[in-house]
Amino acid sequence: MSKRGPQCTVCAHRERASLDLALARGVGVTALSRRYSLGVDALYRHSKNHLPPQLRAQLLAGPSIAGLDLDKLRDTESQSLLANIIALRNRLFASLDAAEENGDGTMLARVAGQLHRNLELTGRLLGNLNSGTSITNNVLVMPAYVEMRVELVRALAPYPQARQAVAAVLHTIEHKAAADITADTRELAR
């Protein structure tokens, strides 16, 4: 294991989880340095020494989705997995905003691809769930919402202030929707 300790300001940072996730997703060190008031060198060192490839892969894959046989999941398992995937989508949206903010086209394409897979997975899980749940009416689950969101944020790229204002509104809506889903899945699990 590489040496880590109080000397690494990134390891010691209280938002380390978000930082590691952002690094694994390929967010630029310069952008992160601005956002979290951390040294570029410290971020670079942390990324190189404290974030091994397995951990990156794990962070990118999200909550243990790989290797699951969706068709064999029981209802309650489908529900908790769905909640996890939707939480992951929230983070993907945040990555999407970061990519837009930095004008990082490569990252944008990658995050958009992940969102697409995330949507497909949600669709399959919802197919496994008994119908009659309010989850299907949640904005975070609707493909049209995701498409609209991606295009809206993209269209606002030339207007940073407007984009920030819109992104703030979207984050609020998504946060509430995610909370609703958690409540719904908890109710279903009863």
Q: Which residues bind Zn ion (CB under 5 A)?
A: 8, 10-11, 46, 50
| Cα–Cα dist 148/53, whole Å | 33
- Annotate 164-180 with DSSP letters as a single string: HHHHHHHHHHHHHHHHH
| Cα–Cα dist 118/141, whole Å | 10
**Least Cβ distance, residue 64 to Zn ion (angstroms):** 24
Q: For residues 50 and 149, which CB has a smaller minimum distance to Zn ion in the complex?
A: 50
| Cα–Cα dist 127/13, whole Å | 40
Q: For residues 56 and 110, which CB has a smaller minimum distance to Zn ion in the complex?
A: 56
Query: In terms of Cα–Cα distance, which of 141, 102, 143, 104 is closest to 125?
Result: 141
**Least Cβ distance, residue 38 to Zn ion (angstroms):** 10
**Least Cβ distance, residue 142 to Zn ion (angstroms):** 39
- Write the DSSP symbol of residue 64: S
Q: For residues 9 and 84, which CB has a smaller minimum distance to Zn ion in the complex?
A: 9
Task: Look at residue 37 and give its three-state secondary structure.
Answer: coil
Q: For residues 2 and 172, which CB has a smaller minimum distance to Zn ion in the complex?
A: 2
**Least Cβ distance, residue 16 to Zn ion (angstroms):** 8
Burial class (CB in 10 A: 0-12, 13-18, 19+), 120: exposed
Would you say 98 and 22 are in contact if contact means Cβ atoms under 8 Å apart?
yes
**Least Cβ distance, residue 75 to Zn ion (angstroms):** 41
Q: For residues 46 and 163, which CB has a smaller minimum distance to Zn ion in the complex?
A: 46
Q: For residues 10 and 38, which CB has a smaller minimum distance to Zn ion in the complex?
A: 10
**Least Cβ distance, residue 10 to Zn ion (angstroms):** 4
